Structure 1
């Protein structure tokens, strides 16, 4: 069943677990994520990036997810991730996304507030939740370009930002990075504790892939309610496709046999992440 981000994260904050949020764009990913999450009775957030929605992409993705969501007994949020294009954000809202993220983290505070408030005003008319980012998570963008320098979230700005924008969830920068890590991160848990005491809304951790288990769970115990994950799924999918090529060399497989190695490896990774965020049996 489709629900808003607001509905999913309030419960997570109260009960001290997080909801896994996976970027996805094709049937193999979407089906494997949903089937695995239902097996574990875990709420789930399916995230889509702006570039996956260009052209007919928005119709393909929303028709797939909205078409099957009612068949699952777990809460499912359909979330637009790291969006900056107001036109695409508006289209996502109109086409059934239940939450959107406006990413103004590279902008000056006042401009981030103004743009985020514009998105909130659009979204609230349709009952859609809004996530924003304060501070900036560095690393690599999906196209391999730099995501800029890390700027840790200033706890003193959190209350003002939430009050001025009316957002439902806040992504914070506490030491993670997007993409694949080149060295082990050290999350600033003291900073997170300070932010969580002040924040009136649930907190989000971006760059969850590759972050050590103990650090992620410590962050969850101290206020994180949504953990974004993509790089680990891309790596798992690649491993599965390599195995599929080996299968194809030996036999002439049917399509379901060809996709099975990718689905199996993806499922194992998704199970690992559900265990990591402690969301099993929370649906």
Structure 2
């Protein structure tokens, strides 16, 4: 069933688990993510970045909405990392049920202003809004957003939520977009997460969740994160498997080449669903 991001995260918030937000960039990936989420009876979010919207075509959102309506699990369709008010208007018109406005690279007051403007427009038509405070790292050129990590300041998080009215808040506690190099040992500031959780009552979001140690992600869920974005991990699994298939020059049909890639991606997605304690949670809706 298709629901708003607010309704999806409210249940996760009340029951101490995290919703996986899987970024999709083609229809075959999306279909596989529906399948694995239904197999695991797990609620999930179809997250689509503006670059991915341009790649898929905005018309594809109608098809994703239809698939969500037929799903046995609750699903939100989320515009990920919206960069402007105008982009959010496109998301509203296209049929998304959740939007993110990312003003994290702006000065605090400007971030508040654009986020509040988006909240006013989105709430008027029943969409939920995610904001971001602090900046996520960016590890490679394929990563969608980010820069130098600037940790979220807890007192500013309180002020930001009060002034904007956002439904969920993406925080910076040490994650990065993209894949960590082998010589880099990422560390999450669980202490900072706990401090923010004590002060902020809305669902918290972790971006850049790919490639972090499972133990740290599990701790983040335990200490109050209710949505975790996964993009690089599922795309690496999908395309690595596809490259193996394409090594056979006689193959040309997508229905021969893509199924092994979808299967490989589903294995990774299933592991994330279990890690986030989301398996079986569709029964709570």
**TM-score, L = length of structure 1:** 0.94
Partner of 2:37: 37
Bigger drift between 86-95 and 195-204 goes to 86-95
| Matched ranges for 1:26-105 at <5 A | 26-54=26-54, 57-60=57-60, 62-105=61-104
Cα distance in 2, alignment partners of residues 5 and 219 from structure 1: 20
Q: State the 1:254 CA deviation.
A: 4.6
Q: State the 1:25 CA deviation.
A: 2.4
Cα distance in 2, alignment partners of residues 139 and 41 from structure 1: 32
Q: State the 1:88 CA deviation.
A: 1.8
Q: Secondary structure at the match of 2:226?
A: strand
Partner of 2:229: 228
| Matched ranges for 1:34-183 at <5 A | 34-54=34-54, 57-60=57-60, 62-140=61-139, 143=142, 147-182=146-181, 183=184
Cα distance in 1, alignment partners of residues 64 and 110 from structure 2: 33
Q: Is the 8 A contact 1:12 1:225 kept in 2?
A: yes
Q: Secondary structure at the match of 2:113?
A: helix
Change (3 A) 1:144 1:210: closer
**TM-score, L = length of structure 2:** 0.94
> Residue deviations 1:119-155, cap 9 Å, x none?
0011011100000101111114664588321100000
Cα distance in 2, alignment partners of residues 170 and 91 from structure 1: 22
Partner of 1:192: 193
Cα distance in 2, alignment partners of residues 187 and 279 from structure 1: 21
Q: Secondary structure at the match of 1:70?
A: helix
Q: State the 1:225 CA deviation.
A: 0.3
> Residue deviations 1:181-234, cap 9 Å, x none?
121211111110000011121000011000111100101110100000001112
Partner of 1:282: 281
Q: State the 1:69 CA deviation.
A: 1.2
Change (3 A) 1:27 1:55: closer
Unaligned runs of 5+ in 2: none
Q: Secondary structure at the match of 1:101?
A: strand
Q: Is the 8 A contact 2:140 2:179 kept in 1?
A: no
How many residue pairs get aligned? The number is 280
Unaligned runs of 5+ in 1: none
Q: State the 1:52 CA deviation.
A: 2.5
Q: Is the 8 A contact 1:159 1:200 kept in 2?
A: no
Q: Secondary structure at the match of 2:58?
A: helix
Cα distance in 2, alignment partners of residues 260 and 252 from structure 1: 13
Change (3 A) 1:145 1:103: closer
Partner of 1:24: 24
Cα distance in 2, alignment partners of residues 56 and 228 from structure 1: 19
Q: State the 1:53 CA deviation.
A: 2.7
Partner of 1:264: 263
